[in-house]
Amino acid sequence: MDLRQIENIIAIEREQSISKAAEKLFLTQSALNQQLLRLEKELGIQLFERRKHSMIPTFAGRIYLATAHQMVDMKRETYRIIQDITEENTGEIAVAYTPERGSLMFSYVYPVFRKRYPNVAFRIREARVKKMEQMLLQKEVTLACVTYADGIKNPELEYQDMEEELMVLGLPASHPLASLAGERSWETFPELDLRLLKDEGFTMISRETRIRDMIDRSFVRAGFAPKILFESTSTLTVVNMVKNQVSPAFFPQSYVDPEAPVVYFSVPPRQSWMRCVAYLKGAYLTRPEKYFIELVTKYTRGELKGMGDVTAKGPGYRTARPSKSL
């Protein structure tokens, strides 16, 4: 059985269905089923348990698939290295980023990247940070734009730091405590005792996100559980609820808008995270991948040529650097 057929068996595992895998592979269901039956006959053992609506690997199947994944990964990695050392400047970069901030970043980075490497394609996955780390470990992507806080990193990953970012508390400008912010709060982020908002309702980013862990720690330190009006997986939705004078909310500093009817605070002790690009520890990075990381870093720091006024580009751009007291 050649590697292409092995990849087909992996597709059955991934889709948990011969029909779905065949559709993804542009094969007939019958042809893919025959490949599996021939392999099982050759091995003398059943690799998948045929259930009514799914295909589940047997114990022997899991052993076979573990080796199959290693073979496919080795093939993919070998091709990447050969293409790089022969300077073919072709191939594919599999990258993951967040749906909002990441997609905006890519729209600025890709045109610059393409000028140097026009024949390199991208395979994009959008997800939250916790999910992206799993994608890296499972080798679904090569690079991921992630964050970490308090120096806590996955020991199986390498992190290239780009910029530290403060977690801010936004209050509607109509809020009774808004006057405590003073002038230019979007730049100074004065401290506010969170206990003053004990009776308030909050809009919260979902628990799928890393910043939610930081937010929850702030409420634990303040000694009360917040009244949550609703949760959203979209940071833009959370920010817009503050802009529309609905409720206070926490969000990353890069979503601060100096022209919005919002005042901004930090909550002691100030919490920040590091924005970075992550990849598997010990992984070989091609020249195009290294160049992509370089461009993403410049973008994040506001140094990418052609960006103009970063504060005018919309949500997801940094506006002011965190205080050195961080």
Each residue's pLDDT tens digit, 218-266: 999 999 999 999 999 889 999 999 999 999 999 999 899 999 999 999 9
| Residue-wise pLDDT tens digits, 163-180 | 999 999 999 999 999 999
| Residue-wise pLDDT tens digits, 263-272 | 999 999 999 9
What average pLDDT does the segment 77-88 reach?
73
Q: Tell me the pLDDT band of 91, cut-offs 50, 70 and 90.
A: confident
pLDDT at 326: 31
pLDDT at 128: 87
In the CATH scheme, what is the code of domain 3-82?
Answer: 1.10.10.10
Residue with tokens 């910043």: 211
Region of 266 please: left (phi>0), alpha (psi -120 to 50) or beta: beta
Q: Could you give the CA distance from residue 313 to residue 320 in angstroms, rounded to a whole number? A: 14
What average pLDDT does the segment 19-48 reach?
94
pLDDT at 311: 35
pLDDT at position 89 over 90: no
**CA angle 227-246-189, nearest 5°?**
85
CATH: 3.40.50.150, 2.60.40.10, 3.40.190.290, 3.40.640.10. Which one for 166-272?
Answer: 3.40.190.290
pLDDT at 325: 33
What average pLDDT does the segment 20-37 reach?
94
| Residue-wise pLDDT tens digits, 51-65 | 988 999 999 999 999
Neighbour count for residue 108 (Cβ, 10 Å): 18
pLDDT at position 217 over 80: yes
Whether 87-163+273-312 and 166-272 share one fold: the answer is yes
pLDDT at position 320 over 80: no
pLDDT at 306: 64
The pTM for the full model equals 0.71
Q: Could you give the CA distance from residue 9 to residue 46 in angstroms, rounded to a whole number? A: 13
pLDDT at 318: 45
Domain ranges across the chain: 3-82, 87-163+273-312, 166-272
Mean pLDDT, the chain, whole residue set = 89
pLDDT at 169: 97
pLDDT top residue among 135 and 83: 135
Phi/psi at 192 (5° precision): -130, 135
Query: Is the distance from CB of 254 to CB of 158 less than 8 angstroms?
Result: no
What average pLDDT does the segment 126-148 reach?
92
Query: Is the distance from CB of 48 to CB of 36 less than 8 angstroms?
Result: yes
CATH topology of domain 87-163+273-312: D-Maltodextrin-Binding Protein; domain 2 (3.40.190)
pLDDT at position 199 over 80: yes
pLDDT at 253: 93
What is the amino acid identity at position 221?
Answer: R
- What is the maximal distance between C-alpha atoms in the chain? 76
